[in-house]
Chains A and B, each alone.
Chain A
Amino acid sequence: MEIVLAFVIGGLYAAGIYMMLRRSLVKLLIGLALLSHAANLLIFTAARLTRAGFPIIGMDQQALELPYADPLPQALILTAIVISFGVTAFALALSYRTYKSIHTDDLDKMKTTDEADDSKETSA
C-alpha cells in the first residue's frame, strides 16, 4: 500500500508543479490545490498506514491494545484540509477579480509593477 501511495503522491507533486509552471492563472491555482493534496497524503503515508483497531480504550482496558491506528495524523490532515479549502476559495475569488481588472489570465502579462519606470501604478 505504501508503494502505491508513494507513486500517487509523487504523481500529484509532479502534476502540481507542472501546472504551476504553465502561464495560465487557472492552471496555477489547480497546481496549488494539487500540491496541498499531495502534502496531505504525504502526512497520511509518512505517519504509517496501519490496518488495525481503533485508538479507543475499551471499558475494561487500561491502555491501548497494539496495534492501533494513530489518530493524530488524521487530525492534522483534517486541519490542513480545512485551511486549504479556505485558502483555495480565496485564491479563486482573487483570480476572478484579477481577471476582471486585467482582462487576461496570462501570467506573463502580469508584470507591469515590476518594470522600473512605471507610472500606471494604481494603488490607493
Chain B
Amino acid sequence: MNNLLILPIIIPMFTGILALLAYNSRTAQRWLSVLGSSALLSVAVWLLVEVGRNGILVLQVGGWQAPFGITLVADLFSSIMVVLTGIIGLAVAVYSLAIIDPDHEKFGYHQLYQFLLMGVSGAFLTGDLFNLYVWFEVMLMASFVLLALGGGRGQMEGAIKYVTLNLMASAVFLAALGLLYGMTGTLNMADLAYKFSKGLSAEQSGLITTLSMLFLIAFGIKAAVFPLFFWLPASYHTPPVPVSALFAGLLTKVGVYALIRVFTLIFTQDVGFTHTLILFIAGLTMVTGVLGAVAQGEFRRVLSFHIISQIGYMVMGLGLFTPLALAGSVFYIAHHIIVKTNLFLISGVVKHLHGTLELKKLGGLYQLMPHLGVLFLIPALSLAGIPPLSGFFAKLSLIQAGLEKGDFFIVAVSLAVSLLTVFSMMKLWNETFWKPLPQNEELSAKPLSKKQWISMLAPIVVLAAITIMIGLGVSPAFSLALQAGEQLMNPSAYIQAVMEITP
C-alpha cells in the first residue's frame, strides 16, 4: 500500500514523457494532459482516504532505511495538498484546451504542465530537505519555461524578474542546507526533528535558530511574504491566463507548505522568537498585499497582490502556533487555492471577451453574460470572507485561534485587511461587470465554438461549486483540517512513522 505514495509523482512524469513522444499530434497531447491530470486527482484522493484511515504513510525509496535513503512521507497535510494539486491540475488542463494557442502547444505546453505538476507533488510528498530542494528546482524549471514561452516584451520582463529572485532563493536554500548538514550530519526531516527533540545545548540551539532564519528567507521568497514578494506582482500578470492561474493556485503555496513543514517539525527550539517574527511578517504581508491591490488598475495585478495578502493569513496560522491556528492555515490554503485559481480563470474569460484586462477599458459584462457575473461573485466574496462561503470559515478559525492566544493586534489587522479585500473585490466587480462599457471601447471576442465555451466555463463552475460545498459542508472539511493541524503540532507521530523509533 505504501507504494501508492510514488504514484502522484510518476503519473505526471509518465504523462509528460508520453506527451513528448506524441510530439507531432496536438490532439494526443491534449487528451494525455487531461487524462494524466484526472489520474493524478484520483490517485491523490485515494491517498488522502488511505492516510485518513491508516495514519501517516511512509515509503523508503529503494528500500534504504530512513536517514540514509530518500523518504516519501504523506501525512494529512501533505495529502490534502496533493489533492488540491490534482483538482487545480485537472481544472486548468481542461481550461487550457479552450484558450491556449497552438504555438504554445507546439513548444511543449502540455509536457511542461505535467512536469510542473510532478515537481509540485514531489515537493509536497518528500520527507528529505535536499530532496525538497530538487523538487523545487524541477518545479521552477518547468515554471520558468511556461512563464517565458511565446513571450512578447511583457512576458520576458516578467520572466527575468521571476527567474532571478527564485534562483536567489534557491541559492540561499542550498547554503542553508549545507550549513544544516555540517551541523547535524543529516537532512532527513524526521531525523532532524528526532535529533533536535533529544535536547540541545544553549549554543547549538542558538545556532540552529540562526540557521532557521536562512530557511525563512529561502521559503519566504518562494511564498512571497512581506519584504520578499516583489517578483510576484511583476510576473504573474504577464503569461497566458491558464499559466498564471496554475501559478497563482499552486506555486506560492509550495513555499507556504515548506515554511509550515520546517517550522512545525524541525525549527521549534525558540518558538518565542521565530514564531513571533513569523507573526509580524504575516501581519505586514497582509497589509502591504491588500494596499498594493487597492492601488492597481489591472485585473490580474489586483489578483496578484491579493495572493500576497492571503499568504499573510496562511502564515499567520503558523505564527500563532496552536492546533486550531494551524488547522486554520491548512483550511485557508485549501480554500485559497481553489478560489484564487477560479478568479484567474474568470479573468481569462474577461480577457477573451474584451481583449484587455485594464480596468479602465472594461465594463458592461453583466449585461452581456450575467451568469459570468454571478460566477465571479462567488469566489470574490469567498476571498473576502463573506459567510457562508469557504473564506469566512477559514478566517473565522484563524481569528478564533488568535483570540484564544490573546494576540489581539494580529486579529485586528486581519479583520481590517478583510474589509479592504471586500472593497477591492467590489471594485473589480464594478469596473468589470457593473459599469457601462466605456465609449470608444467595443467587445472584440474571437468566436469560440460551443465545445470551447464548455471547456472554459466548466472548470469555473466546478471550482465555484467546490467553494460553496466547502462553505456549506464546513464541519467535515474543518474536522479534517483540525486533524491535520493536530498532526502538525505533534511531530512525534511523524518521526515515529519515518524512523520507526519512539522519540
Q: Once the chains bind, are A119 and B356 in contact (CB under 8 Å)? A: yes
Interface size class of A (residues with CB under 8 A): 35 or more
**Interface residue B144 (Cβ < 8 Å from any Cβ of A):** yes
Nearest residue, chain B, Cβ from A114 = B234
Is residue A116 contacting chain B, with contact meaning CB distance below 8 A?
yes
Residues of A within 8 A of B181 (CB): 43, 46-47, 72-73, 76
Nearest chain A CB to B343's CB is how many angstroms away? 17
B257 at the interface (CB under 8 A from A): no
Tell me if B168 counts as interface (CB < 8 A to partner A).
yes
Chain A 65-80 interface mask (CB, 8 Å, partner B; 1/0) = 0000010110010011
Which single member of A28, A36, A124 contacts B164 (CB below 8 Å)?
A28
Tally of A-B Cβ pairs under 8 angstroms: 145
Which of B151, B238, B296 touches A116 (beta carbons < 8 Å)? Answer: B296
Question: Interface size class for chain B?
Answer: 35 or more
How distant is A39 from chain B, measured CB to nearest CB, in Å? 4
**For residue A9, which residue of chain B has the nearest CB?**
B175
Q: Is the CB of B157 within 8 A of A102?
A: yes
Contacts of A121 in B (CB 8 A): 154, 237-238, 356
In the complex, A35→B181 CA distance in Å? 19
The closest CB in chain A to the CB of B175 belongs to: A39
B152 at interface (Cβ–Cβ under 8 A)? yes
B240 touches A124 (CB 8 A): yes
- The answer to whether A124 and B104 touch across the interface, beta carbons within 8 angstroms, is yes
A111: CB under 8 A from chain B? yes
Asked if B154 and A94 make an inter-chain contact with CB atoms under 8 angstroms apart, the answer reads: no
- Closest CB-CB distance, A47 to chain B, in whole Å? 5
Q: Could you tell me the distance in whole angstroms from the C-beta of A46 to the nearest C-beta in chain B? A: 3
In the bound complex, do residue B154 and residue A73 qualify as a contact, i.e. CB atoms below 8 Å apart?
A: no
Q: Is B141 an interface residue (CB 8 A)?
A: yes
A87 to B153, CA, bound (A): 21
List, in ascending order, chain A residues with CB within 8 A of B134's CB: 79, 83
Q: Apart from A43-B181, A76-B178, A94-B159, what are 17 other A-B pairs with CB-CB below 8 Å?
A: A32-B164, A35-B171, A36-B171, A43-B178, A48-B182, A87-B141, A98-B157, A101-B153, A113-B238, A116-B298, A117-B358, A121-B238, A123-B154, A123-B237, A123-B238, A124-B104, A124-B239
Interface residues of B (CB under 8 A from A): 101, 104, 130, 133-134, 137, 140-141, 144-145, 148, 150-161, 163-164, 167-168, 170-172, 174-175, 177-179, 181-183, 185, 233-234, 237-240, 295-298, 356, 358, 360
> Can you give 27 A-B contacts (C-beta < 8 A)?
A20-B168, A36-B167, A38-B171, A42-B178, A43-B178, A47-B182, A72-B181, A73-B181, A76-B130, A87-B137, A87-B170, A94-B160, A98-B160, A110-B156, A110-B157, A110-B161, A113-B157, A113-B234, A113-B238, A116-B296, A117-B358, A117-B360, A120-B153, A123-B152, A123-B155, A124-B101, A124-B239
